[in-house]
Structure formats: C-alpha cells, structure tokens
Amino acid sequence: MSPGSSGHPGRAQAAKLGLRPGQRVHLYHPPPGWDLTAPPDGLVDAGPDGPADLIIAFFSAAIEIAGELGGLAQRIYPAGALWVAWPRRAGGHRSDITDAVVRLEALPIGLVDVKVAVIDDDWSALRLVWRVENRR
C-alpha cells in the first residue's frame, strides 16, 4: 500500500479528511514520501504560514504538540479544521501520543475534537475545530 493510502477499504482518504475543491490545505511536517491519496482537484497550497481551511499536522512525540498546536490553530481560525496525526500502534509503530494526549493540549486553547480517523496504514488522526463560542 502506498504511503498516503487510506489504510482500509471503504471510504476514500479525501472523504475521511473532509477535503473539497478550492480548500486551502497544508501538510505540516509530513513524513518523507507522504502525500494525499487521490485528492480532489482544485486544492490550494496554504503554504507554511498562511491561513488554511484544513491542516494535517504530523507528530511523533507528545512533547512536540504543545509548542505547535496554538500556532496551527490560529491558521484555521475561525472555521477550518486541524487534523493532528500520530503513528498508529496498530500499524506497528511506537508513540506516546493518543487521542487523549491531543485533547489535553487542544481543549484548553479553545479547540474541540469532532472526529478520529485512520488516515492510512501508519497514521491515526484527531480532527480539531474551534468551539462555536470561540469563532467570533
């Protein structure tokens, strides 16, 4: 299976991640060779610092998340989404990151998780958005 494949039969990766044509998208620290599988036409590269409709951020250690999450969250304000991805234990990888670890960092800054997904054979991710009351 290719590095960016969805990892499981059924729903396409783009659908799992909520990718739509015209969105400003950024892959933050993707592993070497990782890319989206069959992304919709018309995605726009948000670049490393610009506003984004959707960011997929890859982390391999919990300590990395705290220092980066706030800046990434600002880039998706007010109505974008941030996927925080970590290595899947079920994929044979080791990591100290779990969905609970991500929530511990996200909730205090005004983000809330709305979905967890396996984005490919090697990565799980939690989708974060700004709480409705914080979108003003």
**Does residue 5 form part of some domain?**
no
pLDDT for 58 equals: 98
The model's pTM is: 0.90
**Residue range 127-136: average pLDDT?**
92
What's the rounded Cα separation, in Å, for the pair 133 and 123? Answer: 30
* Confidence at residue 136, expressed as pLDDT on a 0 to 100 scale: 76
CATH of the domain at 75: 3.40.50.150
Asked if the model's pLDDT at residue 6 lies above 50, the reply is no
Give percent of the chain above pLDDT 70. Answer: 91
The residue whose two tokens read 């739509």 is: 20
Residue 104 falls inside a structural domain = yes
The whole domain housing 82 covers 13-134
Q: How far, in Å, CA of 74 to CA of 69, rounded?
A: 9
In the numeric block, which tokens belong to residue 32?
Answer: 């070497």
Residue length of the chain: 136
pLDDT tens for residues 103-120?
999 999 999 999 999 999
Cβ atoms within 10 Å, residue 11: 11
Domain assignment present for residue 115? The answer is: yes
8 Å CB contact between 97 and 61: yes
- Evaluate whether 42 touches 21 at the Cβ level (below 8 Å): yes
| Contact between residue 102 and residue 126 where contact means Cβ atoms under 8 Å apart | yes
Beta bridge partners of 123: 87
Asked if the structure places residue 4 within a domain, the reply is: no
Q: When comparing pLDDT for 3 and 102, which is higher? A: 102
- Using the predicted structure, report yes or no on whether residue 76 has a pLDDT greater than 50: yes
DSSP H/E element including 85: strand 81-87
Which pLDDT band, with edges at 50, 70 and 90, does 1 fall under? very low
Number of domains the chain contains: 1
Q: Residue 20 falls within a domain, yes or no?
A: yes
Q: Residues 28, 56: contact at Cβ < 8 Å?
A: yes
Residue 1 lies in a domain: no
Q: What is the mean pLDDT of the chain?
A: 91
Confidence of residue 131 (pLDDT cuts 50, 70, 90): very high
